[in-house]
Amino acid sequence: MQITLKDIARMADVAESTVSRALNDKPGVGKDTKRKILKIAQENNYRPNQLARGLAANKTNMIAVILSEMDSPGNIEIVKSIEKSADEKGYQIILCNTNNQEEKEKNYLSLLESNQVDGAIFIGGKLVGSHLLRASFSPKNNIVLVNRLAEENFFTSVLTDYSQGIFKAVKHLVGEGFKNIALICGHQNDLIEEEKISGYKLALREAGLEVKPELIFPTKADRQAGYDVFLDIIEKDVIPDAFISTRELTTIGLVEAIKMGGYFIPDDFAVVGYGDNILTSIIDPPLTVISEPVGKIANYSFEFLLKLINEKMNEQQIEVLTPELIIRESSISKYN
Amino acid sequence: MQITLKDIARMADVAESTVSRALNDKPGVGKDTKRKILKIAQENNYRPNQLARGLAANKTNMIAVILSEMDSPGNIEIVKSIEKSADEKGYQIILCNTNNQEEKEKNYLSLLESNQVDGAIFIGGKLVGSHLLRASFSPKNNIVLVNRLAEENFFTSVLTDYSQGIFKAVKHLVGEGFKNIALICGHQNDLIEEEKISGYKLALREAGLEVKPELIFPTKADRQAGYDVFLDIIEKDVIPDAFISTRELTTIGLVEAIKMGGYFIPDDFAVVGYGDNILTSIIDPPLTVISEPVGKIANYSFEFLLKLINEKMNEQQIEVLTPELIIRESSISKYN
DNA sequence: TTGTAGGCGTTATCAA
DNA sequence: TTGATAACGCCTACAA
């Protein structure tokens, strides 16, 4: 069995409270007493029981990182980055995956409400369930939302300006001379995707090009969906000369399908993908991508959460980060 | 504030213990009383405080997953898979990253010893620090080791037969007619890498080929190291005609360097990589890889841990899984 | 079937 | 500077 405060108290012949104070560097402990206590603790390899501590002090030094899906390389990068910062500040992270299920989100929210964690960072997630989130809005619940949109947002948030990202991509492709730019995106009910679509439309209009609804292809977010949609597309009447794909894995599938079909990128089809991760950098040809600043996202979100926990935040903060367009071979025009 | 057992007890006009029993489906509660209690709990959205529960019952329904590094796609897959199983069984996972630092491993071990988690799965990790682990070997500490080697191992473990994996790779390459097979591996002090090297040597000898120490290249495990080592190699006297690269990211870097140098795979150099992940499947050309059965690894490790927690394991179990060789273009011979 | 009471390992308050 | 004591929210004998 693990040694406890009580044991140390007995050994040092002092009260538990004194031991607690000594161990937590609180004032009001004699120098010698403190030294003696620390020595005993050290020798016996004392580890405070975090459960008891959490129960008594209402502070667990744990935060929940709640992912809407674990399949996005970008999100995993964010988690890694948060883990690093958290560790530096002495926080443990609990990794949760909701798989976009509202029910699970509710469960994980209870980690917060039962004081099991000091705060939570929600990464991604559809609008669905946001009323639940909203119900748990309270100064007591330290919540940071990452890339999660809602019509009304009371929460401290870190957002990516998706519209801007797609806008840049379209502008670039138009500049390269592409005329029929297709958008492979998510479904409209996803606010994030809706924003991307609006960026797409805006850029086309601004370039004086017609928005053709038949060039917008909503699909699921996985690799297979990207593959399948291309097979559909080449059967259609209007064949695009360029693609913008708004999700990471879908992009990969799309590229694979194009190549499998015997077509060349960018000669037959230009491609702008999503996410500057190892995947898009090693795929052949190297992909032009809209790149979320994952490092910054992680930093802001953890910093914000820390401020919330330490009650250093006096008003709602929303940080909007702009994605970059990283231009590589896949979108360089044959027209030039 | 969150509602507690006591509140429910008051509302239902019964004792706390009765509420506790009712909520935990324990026998000895009248049907009507139980119904009433459950109703109240439901209506008030009662969530037990897991800290208190953990403190009282010595059971937190949390397990720690301790990674030696977060950069391996294979390990991330294992984590995802464990998370899934854990969730199904009502367990939360705490994700920890030691970055191969002994000190951190020690810290995380204390999660176990302070009863903050019911068990821990260690994924990867050098031999370094294993004496620490050993010190915390006790029936009370539920620990499963994944792909972690040590001369003496008291722990329930899930291992990959690395030697066998490399053996298969060498045999395949020899069969394809390659004569100068280089090994890009980790340093000897890493037991896992040592095992891979032994598989390499064994296969060569068995094929009647000479083992040339100058064809074994220990490097770091990252992408850059794979890139750099190739640049070194082509300056040397003995130029290999095939590479086996034993780590995931190193493999990627190696392939990039080869292509950047203007060489072709497999015409100039055959390559067998490590890890059947999305990376090795999309890289051009598709890579022949030694593939760890990550799904199985995750399943075994979680199942073992569950057994340990529920005291259903009566002796040390060690499961050794054999990697597969997945043959794709990168190792098909020009000699054929 | 139900209630009482003690305890899990801390922290925090108030006296001494 | 110290110590006693009451929380924190829950579980579990044991008694009724």
Task: Give A16-71 pLDDT, tens digit per residue.
Answer: 999 999 999 988 888 999 999 999 999 998 989 989 999 998 899 999 999 998 88
CATH for B58-161+294-324? Answer: 3.40.50.2300
Instruction: Give the minimum alpha-carbon distance from B198 to chain A in angstroms, rounded to a whole number.
Output: 31
Instruction: Give the minimum alpha-carbon distance from A7 to chain B in angstroms, rounded to a whole number.
Output: 14
Which of A52, A55, A256 faces B282 most closely, judged by CB atoms? A256
Which of B80, B83, B279 faces A278 most closely, judged by CB atoms? B279
Count Cβ–Cβ pairs < 8 Å, chain A vs chain B: 105
- Asked if residue A17 keeps its beta carbon closer than 7 A to nucleic acid strand C, the reply is yes
Separation between Cα atoms, residue B243 and residue B195, nearest integer Å: 17
Q: What's the mean per-residue pLDDT of chain B?
A: 91
Half-sphere exposure for B198 (CA within 13 Å, toward CB) = 11
Half-sphere exposure for A91 (CA within 13 Å, toward CB) = 25
Q: Is the CB of A51 less than 8 angstroms away from the CB of B49?
A: no
Angle (CA) B278 B73 B299, round 5°: 100
Separation between Cα atoms, residue A15 and residue B45, nearest integer Å: 40
Q: Which residues of B touch A78 (CB under 8 A)?
A: none
Separation between Cα atoms, residue B205 and residue A274, nearest integer Å: 47
Buried b (16+ CB within 10 A) or exposed e, A209-243: eeeeeebebbbebbbebbbbbbeebeeeeeebbbb
Which band of pLDDT confidence, cut at 50, 70 and 90, is reported for residue A128?
A: very low
- Asked if residue A282 keeps its beta carbon closer than 7 A to nucleic acid strand C, the reply is no
- Among the listed residues B166, B165, B244, the one whose alpha carbon sits nearest the alpha carbon of residue B200: B166
Q: Is the CB of A111 less than 8 angstroms away from the CB of B92?
A: yes
pLDDT at A83: 95
pLDDT of B274 over the 50 cut: yes
- Asked if residue B63 keeps its beta carbon closer than 7 A to nucleic acid strand C, the reply is no
CATH for B5-48? Answer: 1.10.260.40
pLDDT at B28: 85
The CATH architecture to which B163-291+325-331 belongs is 3-Layer(aba) Sandwich (3.40)
Provide CATH 3.40.50.2300 ranges for chain A.
58-161+294-324, 163-291+325-331
Answer whether A64's CB lies under 8 Å from A121's CB: yes
Q: Which nucleotides of D are covered by protein (CB under 7 A)?
A: 1-13
DSSP B158: E
Q: Residue B171 burial (CB < 10 Å; 0-12/13-18/19+)?
A: middle
Instruction: Give the minimum alpha-carbon distance from A212 to chain B in angstroms, rounded to a whole number.
Output: 31
pLDDT at B128: 46
Q: Is the CB of B51 less than 8 angstroms away from the CB of A110?
A: no
Buried b (16+ CB within 10 A) or exposed e, B192-230: bbbbbbebbbbbbeeeeeeeeeebebbbbbbbebbbbbb
Instruction: Give the minimum alpha-carbon distance from A203 to chain B in angstroms, rounded to a whole number.
Output: 31
Mean pLDDT across A110-136: 78
| Amino acid B18 CA to nucleotide D14 C1' distance, rounded Å | 14
Separation between Cα atoms, residue A169 and residue A167, nearest integer Å: 5
Q: Which residues of B touch A70 (CB under 8 A)?
A: 80, 83
pLDDT at B132: 65
Q: Is the CB of A115 less than 8 angstroms away from the CB of B282?
A: no
Provide CATH 1.10.260.40 ranges for chain A.
5-48
| Amino acid A105 CA to nucleotide C10 C1' distance, rounded Å | 30
pLDDT at A129: 54
Q: Which nucleotides of C are covered by protein (CB under 7 A)?
A: 1-13
pLDDT at A177: 94
pLDDT of B304 over the 50 cut: yes
pLDDT at B1: 65
Helices B191-206 and B162-175: crossing angle, nearest 10°? 30
Which band of pLDDT confidence, cut at 50, 70 and 90, is reported for residue A198?
A: very high
pLDDT at B336: 62
Closest nucleotide (CA of B57 to C1')? D11
Which band of pLDDT confidence, cut at 50, 70 and 90, is reported for residue A116?
A: confident
Residue predicted with more confidence, A227 or B115: A227
Bridge partners, A326 (sequence order)? A289
Separation between Cα atoms, residue A296 and residue A301, nearest integer Å: 8
